[in-house]
């Protein structure tokens, strides 16, 4: 029996049988190196605009990795889209954040890493491990580098008090709170009261997301009226939807400090914009997850070194 044009290669399940087949065909056994590699896969994708496209792309990549037998799939989502739809405010509204959590699990993700979720209750939306990384060290270290004195950290609304308190503790500064009301989403609210001592201080407004900019600009104006010397604003996720950029430019805000969890496009950058990188923080989290080490120790030990701030 001739085996012209045939090459026989053996897997590891039954090499003796393969050698017998090759002998029957009067062929040498093909040279092959067989090894096993169970990949620890990390997929980085922010579900920012266009959120639907980016989310679907992420789900498809996770599904492909699952079908390729990746040992573990971690979705690294610096900005978790739909996070503001975290509860029902009125009848017949979806809880989109919970839906997205379910989709990630169904697609095959084993773990999720994200930055500064909008609301704490979202921890309970996931049936898989969730690593929620705060950016207060990255933002706080930048403000420390400026050598600012007589600081006060300000939460622009009641809902952000916990976030602002942790930031204030990191900077060892007092806390103030702006009490405001908003009738509709993305509508500029009216200031009701500023709670805390702000007179003759340098204020840092802290938020997780800046979308249209109305909240921080309104807050900055309220603080100036109450005698604040300088106002800085910072956030993790710089959506900066229109008309955020001209609003900030015309405002009393001296600097707007953000991270690159969402790409900050050139048209959204001004002389007031400072962009800090979260790459070092996420890289260290990935390294720790791969090595089965504690991620929470990132925030109880030494700070993660960050690249220099980028000024445009």
Residue 122 · residue 82 · CB < 8 Å: no
Contacts of 180 (CB under 8 A, 6+ apart): 156, 157, 189, 190, 191, 192, 215, 218, 219
Strand, helix or coil for residue 87: coil
- What is each CA distance from 179 to 194, 199, 200, in whole angstroms? 6, 17, 20
Q: How far apart are CA 114 and CA 132, in angstroms?
A: 5
Which of 88, 90, 162, 180 is the catalytic position?
A: 180
SS3 category, 112: strand
Q: Are 201 and 173 in contact (CB under 8 A)?
A: no
DSSP 198-222: -TT-EEEEEEEEESSSHHHHHHHHH
> Is 180 one of the catalytic residues?
yes
Closest CA to 141 of 311, 303, 298, 278: 303
Q: Where in the sequence numbering do the catalytic residues fall? A: 180
């Amino acid at each position: 029996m001739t085996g012209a044009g045939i090459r026989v290669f053996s897997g590891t399940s039954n090499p003796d049988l393969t050698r017998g087949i090759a002998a029957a065909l009067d062929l040498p056994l093909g040279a092959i190196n067989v090894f096993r590699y169970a990949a620890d896969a990390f997929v980085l994708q922010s579900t920012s605009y266009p959120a639907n496209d980016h989310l679907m792309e992420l789900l498809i990549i996770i599904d492909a990795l699952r079908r390729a037998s990746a040992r573990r799939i971690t979705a690294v989502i610096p900005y978790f889209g739909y996070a503001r739809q975290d509860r029902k405010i009125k009848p017949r509204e979806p809880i989109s954040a919970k839906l997205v959590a379910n989709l990630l699990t169904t697609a095959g993700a084993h773990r999720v890493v994200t930055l500064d979720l909008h609301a704490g209750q979202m921890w309970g939306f996931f049936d898989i491990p969730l690593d929620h990384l705060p950016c207060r060290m990255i933002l706080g270290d930048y403000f420390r580098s400026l050598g600012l004195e007589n600081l006060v950290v300000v939460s622009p609304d009641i809902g952000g008090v916990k976030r602002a308190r942790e930031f204030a503790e990191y900077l060892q500064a007092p806390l103030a709170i702006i009490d405001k009301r908003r009738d509709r989403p993305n509508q500029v609210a009216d200031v009701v009261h500023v709670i805390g001592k702000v007179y003759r201080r340098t204020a840092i407004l802290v938020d997780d997301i800046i979308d249209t900019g109305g909240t921080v600009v309104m807050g900055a104006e309220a603080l100036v009226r109450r005698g604040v010397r300088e106002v800085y604003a910072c956030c993790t996720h710089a959506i900066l939807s229109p008309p955020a950029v001209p609003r900030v430019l015309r405002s009393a805000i001296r600097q707007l400090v953000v991270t690159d969890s969402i790409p900050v496009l050139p048209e959204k950058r001004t002389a007031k914009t400072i962009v800090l990188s979260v790459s070092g923080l996420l890289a260290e989290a990935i390294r720790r997850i791969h090595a089965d080490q504690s991620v929470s120790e990132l925030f109880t030990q030494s700070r993660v070194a960050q690249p220099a701030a980028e000024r445009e």
